[in-house]
């Protein structure tokens, strides 16, 4: 993978995943209809496939058939659903958080706009790893921020409400500007949640609250094979201490730190930063699968300034 293209690839996967989230209920690939109380999966209503009058059935064969149907169509799908994030974590660490998660994408956009407008990613404090933005066009970024604060929560509200109310019902209510209580509550509730988390909470939610993130973090941490950030320890003396990797990290990880950081989402921003400093293909970081810690234990101790190591 060409490191300088990482951001392009990442933005592509992030936007593609948001589109998937929007389209799943539209095409009945995944949604629960609260009106008909049916679960739609891959285009058709999900049913246990039990024969009519199965409860009155007698005999071992009939009971066995019911038990098998229940196992295959109720218990097994749930196990698969519950296993997705632990499995992802075991194999790819927090890759989903950095490359796919729509909430993570929204928080990155909020970080960027705050950085352009205030010169720091965070609303509450200025950290030592804030990238220098020069003199950005505040009118432009202010307009984008206002537009985003209105459009994105409403769009998110419509998309997520579509998982409980048929999307065509929602669209027809929008066209006629007449809403049922459920649709109104869904859109406003999701919208307020998105607005509050994207303005006030952001990556704190990723680090400490999100269950999907915590499962990936935990299983990625204990896995001997998960994807993780690595540093070329043999070439550590090439580091110019430019701090590009530190400032690139929106998760407030110090990539050169000798301890592996469970907040790392394998986004590759530090890989790009180091390639910019040392030349394409000569950067000190890469993503790789395998055991042991992500970063060299002890190798960076003398290189990274002590105040940098104390941070985070």
Quick one: CA torsion of 112, 116, 119, 120, rounded to 10 degrees? -10
**Considering only residues 253, 262, 296, 308, which one is a binding residue for ligand SF4 as defined by CB under 6 A?**
253
What distance in Å separates the CA atoms of residue 60 and residue 80, rounded to the nearest whole number? 28
Point out which span in 38-46, 99-107, 165-173, 261-269 binds ligand SF4 (CB under 6 A): 261-269
Contact between 257 and ligand SF4 per CB under 6 A: no
Contact between 121 and ligand SF4 per CB under 6 A: no
Q: How distant is the alpha carbon of residue 66 from its chain centre?
A: 39
Quick one: CA torsion of 271, 273, 278, 282, rounded to 10 degrees? 20
**Considering only residues 191, 248, 262, 308, which one is a binding residue for ligand SF4 as defined by CB under 6 A?**
248
Contact between 295 and ligand SF4 per CB under 6 A: no
Q: Which is nearer to ligand SF4, 111 or 183 (CB)?
A: 111
What distance in Å separates the CA atoms of residue 84 and residue 77, rounded to the nearest whole number? 11
Residues 6+ apart with CB under 8 A from 93: 216, 220, 223, 226, 227, 228, 264, 265, 266
What distance in Å separates the CA atoms of residue 268 and residue 275, rounded to the nearest whole number? 11
**Considering only residues 229, 262, 296, 308, which one is a binding residue for ligand SF4 as defined by CB under 6 A?**
229
Q: How far is the CB of 97 from ligand SF4 (least distance, A)?
A: 9
Point out which span in 36-44, 129-137, 208-216, 245-253 binds ligand SF4 (CB under 6 A): 245-253
Q: Which is nearer to ligand SF4, 57 or 290 (CB)?
A: 290
Point out which span in 67-75, 174-182, 191-199, 263-271 binds ligand SF4 (CB under 6 A): 263-271
Contact between 249 and ligand SF4 per CB under 6 A: yes
Burial of 151 (0-12, 13-18, 19+ CB in 10 A): exposed
Q: How far is the CB of 291 from ligand SF4 (least distance, A)?
A: 18
Q: How far is the CB of 149 from ligand SF4 (least distance, A)?
A: 25
Binding string, 154-193, against ligand SF4, x = CB under 6 A? Answer: ----------------------------------------
**Considering only residues 242, 279, 290, 305, which one is a binding residue for ligand SF4 as defined by CB under 6 A?**
242
Contact between 106 and ligand SF4 per CB under 6 A: no
**Considering only residues 278, 289, 309, 311, which one is a binding residue for ligand SF4 as defined by CB under 6 A?**
278
DSSP 176: H
Point out which span in 78-86, 112-120, 145-153, 243-251 binds ligand SF4 (CB under 6 A): 243-251
Contact between 262 and ligand SF4 per CB under 6 A: no
The total of other beta-carbon atoms located within 10 Å of residue 71's CB is: 11
What distance in Å separates the CA atoms of residue 287 and residue 231, rounded to the nearest whole number? 9
Are 253 and 268 spatial neighbours (Cβ–Cβ below 8 Å)?
no
Point out which span in 31-39, 58-66, 174-182, 239-247 binds ligand SF4 (CB under 6 A): 239-247
Residues 6+ apart with CB under 8 A from 224: 290, 291
Residues 6+ apart with CB under 8 A from 305: 241
What distance in Å separates the CA atoms of residue 78 and residue 220, rounded to the nearest whole number? 22
Q: Which is nearer to ligand SF4, 190 or 269 (CB)?
A: 269
What distance in Å separates the CA atoms of residue 119 and residue 114, rounded to the nearest whole number? 7
What is residue 116's three-state secondary structure? helix
Kindly list the residues in this chain that would bind ligand SF4 in the complex (CB under 6 A). Answer: 229, 239-245, 248-249, 251, 253, 255-256, 264-270, 273-274, 277-278, 284
């Amino acid at each position: 993978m060409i490191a300088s293209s990482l951001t392009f690839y990442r933005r592509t996967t992030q936007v593609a995943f948001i589109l998937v989230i929007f389209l799943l209920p539209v095409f009945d690939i995944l949604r629960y209809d609260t009106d008909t109380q049916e679960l739609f999966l891959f285009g058709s209503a999900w049913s246990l496939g039990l024969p009519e009058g199965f409860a009155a059935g007698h005999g071992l064969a009939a009971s066995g058939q019911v038990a098998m149907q229940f196992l295959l169509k109720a218990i097994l799908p749930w196990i698969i659903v519950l296993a997705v994030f632990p499995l992802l974590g075991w194999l790819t660490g927090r890759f989903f958080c950095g490359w796919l998660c729509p909430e993570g994408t929204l928080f990155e956009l909020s970080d960027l706009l705050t950085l352009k407008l205030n010169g720091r990613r965070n609303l509450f404090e200025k950290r030592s790893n804030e990238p220098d933005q020069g003199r950005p066009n505040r009118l432009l970024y202010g307009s984008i921020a206002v537009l985003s604060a209105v459009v994105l929560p409403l769009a998110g509200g419509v998309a997520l409400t579509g998982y409980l109310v048929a999307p065509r019902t929602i669209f027809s209510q929008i066209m006629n500007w007449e809403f049922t209580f459920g649709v109104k509550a869904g859109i406003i509730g999701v919208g307020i949640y998105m607005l509050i988390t994207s303005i006030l909470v952001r990556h704190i939610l990723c680090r400490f609250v999100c269950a999907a993130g915590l499962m990936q973090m935990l299983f990625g941490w204990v896995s001997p094979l998960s994807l993780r950030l690595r540093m070329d320890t043999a070439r550590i003396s090439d580091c110019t201490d430019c701090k590009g990797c530190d400032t690139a990290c929106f998760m407030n990880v110090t990539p050169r730190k000798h301890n592996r950081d469970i907040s790392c989402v394998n986004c590759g921003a530090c890989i790009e930063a180091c390639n910019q400093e040392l030349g394409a293909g000569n950067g000190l970081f890469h993503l790789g699968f395998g055991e042991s810690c992500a970063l060299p234990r002890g190798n960076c101790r003398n290189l990274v300034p002590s105040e940098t190591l104390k941070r985070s």
